[in-house]
A and B are shown apart, each in its own frame.
Chain A
Amino acid sequence: MEKTWNNKAWFMVLPVLLLVAFSAVVPLMTVVNYSVQDTFGNNQFFWAGTDWFDEILHSERFHAALGRNLVFSFIILAIEVPLGIIIALNMPRKGWGVPVCLVLMALPLLIPWNVVGTIWQVFGRVDIGLLGRTLANLGINYNYVQNPMHAWFTVIIMDIWHWTSLVVLLCYAGLVSIPDAFYQAAKIDGASRWAVFRYIQLPKMNRVLLIAVLLRFMDSFMIYTEPFVVTGGGPGNSTTFLSIDLVKMAVGQFDLGPAAAMSIIYFLIILLLSWVFYTVMTNYDAER
């Protein structure tokens, strides 16, 4: 019988393992070490046990930031995924419109995150920003610096502007891979537009949608730069998401122990949610 399994192939993974060890495992181990100790600088550490974890688990500040982050991720996923699918479905499949649309879609993705934040910070300003000034002229009392709802609105719209293109491009890649024969068969059967979407296009986009949802969830759950540049986490703490809170704790207050404990809890939540997403979607795909 032909041998189909060779465990020696695992040695091929060694270079990647070494790379990941230096870029991820060693820093992660250091964070775990920090999370059970206290330090006042100068590389001197004092054992604290599980105190920092206890403090974070009972911290109102952490609960609030986690809640805000979950709500934010839910809102942007609920908007960006359907919107991305709709735009991808309406993009041209041939002709000069294809490169034009692709370049337009790729543009927001090419802009550095802090520049995106700066663009929206200026765009939303009531005195000189196009959005802020226009809304003010329409009689809407918009001010993202003072009003938490307006700050949330700005951050969400900014994220949609920045990242919907990623969902669009991934869905478009899935759509163009569908052979014409599928559409011809659907036409012969007299399938409706909805039936074509439900039974041909959506199943073919399933894999790329999995990647899109995973990427967007993880990215939105780790969001830092854009809201930090636009609102700085304010007004008050209304747009202080987990990563902003973490940086405030670690760099602003130099509370390395609690910050490390928070990082680990944050990491575990991301790991759990990503695993659930991945498992649910891959098994749904396998069942189909």
Chain B
Amino acid sequence: MEMTRRWPVVLAAVVAAFAIMVGLLVGAVPFKDGARDWFAPLAKGGWMAWTFPTALFFLTIFFLMSLMAVWEYASPGGNPRVGILRFETTRGDRLFVSLLGSAFIHLAWLGLIGPNLWWALALSVVYAIGVFRFV
């Protein structure tokens, strides 16, 4: 499928927006004893109980979805194909499978191994790459 030429501009705009949002988020983290308290509530009065880690989590999810939108803009059609699961998937399906699988990888790691989830995150990234490559 023909690539839309302006997609690098859109991609740069999305990445810049994400960077600005992360910057604003970091700026909103309250201080405690002269240092940033990364796990403290972000909003006074506890509105929606936001914290930096949860806000960054959702921001990353929205960033991933925005990247998918840019990809779709650059190469429309969703790139449907039949992979190792032997049924047709589009890019959106592959992102869904990656995110859902990652959630279960984290839960399984937490339940079976322990609360340090950085390796679970690494495993999820490998899994997502595998899904986008082979599914």
Contacts and interface: CB of A to CB of B under 8 A. Distances in A.
A32 B100 contact: no
Contact of B87 (A7, A26, A44, A283): A283
Interface stretch (B21-29, B52-60, B121-129): B52-60
A29 B53 CA distance: 12
B110 interface: yes
B127 to A, nearest CB: 15
Contacts of A10: 69
Interface in A253-277: 265, 268, 271-272, 275
Q: Is the interface of B mostly helix, strand, loop or mixed?
A: helix
B134 interface: no
A10 B51 CA distance: 32
Contacts of B107: 53, 57, 265, 268
Interface stretch (A33-41, A107-115, A242-250): A33-41
Contacts of B39: 47, 49
B104 A268 contact: yes
Interface size class of A (residues with CB under 8 A): 20 to 34
Interface size class of B (residues with CB under 8 A): 20 to 34
A34 B49 contact: yes
Interface of B: 39-41, 45-46, 48-51, 53-54, 57-58, 69, 72-73, 76-77, 87-88, 96, 100, 103-104, 107, 110-111, 115, 117
Given A50-B115, A58-B111, A272 B53 contact: no
24 contacts: A5-B77, A7-B73, A10-B69, A30-B48, A30-B49, A32-B57, A33-B50, A33-B51, A33-B54, A34-B49, A37-B51, A39-B46, A39-B49, A43-B46, A44-B46, A47-B40, A53-B110, A54-B115, A57-B107, A57-B110, A268-B100, A268-B103, A275-B100, A283-B87
B51 A47 contact: yes
A7 B40 contact: no
